[in-house]
Amino acid sequence: MNCDNVQNLVRFISTFHRSRGSSEYRQLLNRIRETIFAWGIDEKDVKLLKYKTGDISYGNFDTTYVWEMRNAELWIDSPRRFINSFDLCRTSVVFGSGPTQGWETLELVDEHFEGDFSDKAVILNMAPDKAFDTYVKQKGAKCLILYHMRAQDKSIFRTPEKMPDTVNYLSFPYTAENVGFGACGFSVNWNQYLFLKEIANKGFKVRFFVESELITGDLDVLELSIPGSRSDMTIGIIAHLCHPSPGANDNASGSALAIELARCLAESKPPVNIKVILVPEFFGSIPYAKEKHLDYVINLDMVGEDQAKTGSTLLLQRTPPILPTFLDVALWKSLKENIPKTSETPARRLSSIQMRGGSDHVVFANFSVPSPYIGQWPDRYYHTSDDTPDKCDPEMYTWIGNAILQSIFYFDSAFESIAKQAMFEAEQFLTQLKDSPGSEIISAVIRNAHGVKCRVPEPTKKITVNADGPLGYKWLKKKDISDKPHISDLGENIYLAARFLKDFDSVITFVSSYLKTDAKDVQ
């Protein structure tokens, strides 16, 4: 495991603006393929898979159009004052912004303006989805100037006041339903927001242009296959490649580590087949998971954080025990054994937690594939212009990479002992459920997942899920709770449990016990 290789790849990937399906995204994939071939990996083992996007849905996800972004600028018209440009800051243009007809000049107003918004630019401190729905779809605005920092956290100084010059990565819902509105948007930093807010509704105008294109097209998934000594098992190592430049930790770091793992595994003979997969997050992983068979998946998302700079902790999100947990046990053992140390004391933070939503592991879990997640949270610079390679810690790649390699080789060297530990932990979980509603169904499903054949009782109150893949986010927007991640995590676990348990009482009991939350909250 060469951490310098990984960090150099992070630096390279972060120079690309990685909008799903765009020409720049495809250019990056081609450069990655060239690198892989230069390492001696056979071209026949590398595939570029394509999935339609823009006018199609995958499960609960409406795909977005391909967004080809070329250039944009935002100014105060008079007195003339520069605000930002796409060339200067890639996160300054809201993802999915439509093109303008050359330069446009509009009066600047805010949410307190009383009148017609259709010929106005609106300055708002609001989540982009909500702003788009309210001010574009309902009120006809053509330009939104937004400030919105997700996941604010005073403990790591992630607040507007502590990061006044940071520009947040924001995205419109640029699906088939919404692209026809033709709106564009700019993301501004906190200082700029305060300035623009102060002059709103006073007759000042902004001057701007956006050169972009929104089209239907294809999403590209890169799949690299490495044969193992066993042909009956395949482990996927997945990382999402999308997001704006720089996006170093999210997720150039995960993609770069996955590529380096491919190099290491190709030079050895792994005990099982390996597929390294680079995807557009969700929109690439859902159709891929539906058509491909994998036995396990390791999801690498935001692995590179320098914890001293970002305030992060390395997390292993473990697969719920209604699916096999062998790989989770192996990874936890390996991460603990390989943690960097100073005088025998761990020098990095590490924690094991229950499954949360928000990344591609949830996709594979819903297709019956155990899919532990390795990544870091929180992160002071998450989804901002400051997510740059200097916020990465190369020692993270060595630690995580060696732990993954060790865990893969456990399938040959320590399979029986790891499997026993996984079964022991599953039985420990089941002791919490004794005589609880639906516990017989839960017990049978968990034991079957861990190799003990059991008859699963028929559901008393049968429930079913509505689509392939994870629950997603549309339901959150309908209930106006899209900025409450704990609700999203709860929803994903309920949806997953319903898929496999199929019984109302069993789902309530399992999720409340697994997440250690009140059964009334689950109901």
DSSP 479-508: TT-TT-HHHHHHHHHHHHHHHHH-BHHHHH
Q: What average pLDDT does range 397-411 have in this prediction?
A: 98
Residue 129 pairs in a beta bridge with: none
The CATH superfamily label for domain 3-63+218-415 reads Zn peptidases (3.40.630.10)
Beta bridge partners of 212: 69
Q: Name residue 149's amino acid.
A: M
- Confidence (pLDDT) at 344: 86
Provide φ and ψ at 311, rounded to 5°: 75, 20
CATH 3.40.630.10 domain locations along the chain: 3-63+218-415
Residue in the block written with tokens 């947040």: 168
> Rounded to whole angstroms, how far apart are CA atoms 62 and 304?
30
The DSSP secondary-structure symbol of 56 reads -
Instruction: State mean pLDDT over 34-50.
Output: 96
Mean pLDDT of 164-188: 97
Would you place residue 476 in the very low, low, confident or very high pLDDT band (cuts 50, 70, 90)? confident
Amino acid at 503: D
- pTM comes to 0.97
Confidence of residue 42 (pLDDT cuts 50, 70, 90): very high
pLDDT tier at 483, thresholds 50, 70, 90: low
Report yes or no: 214 and 67 within 8 Å, Cβ to Cβ.
yes
Domain with CATH 3.50.30.30 in the chain: 66-215
CATH class for the region spanning 66-215: alpha beta
The string over 13-36, giving b where at least 16 C-beta atoms fall within 10 Å of a residue's C-beta and e elsewhere, is bbebbbbbbbebbeebbeebbeeb
Cβ contacts of 205 within 8 Å, gap of 6 or more: 76, 77, 78, 105, 106, 107, 108, 121
pLDDT digits 0-9 by tens, 115-147: 999 999 999 999 999 999 999 999 999 999 999
Cβ neighbours of residue 383 closer than 8 Å, sequence gap 6 or more: 150, 151, 168, 169, 250
Q: What is the pLDDT of residues 198-254, one digit of tens each?
A: 999 999 999 999 999 999 999 999 999 999 998 899 999 999 999 999 999 999 999
Give the model's confidence band at 481: pLDDT under 50 very low, under 70 low, under 90 confident, else very high: low
Q: Tell me the HSE value of 111 on the side-chain side, using a 13 A CA sphere.
A: 9
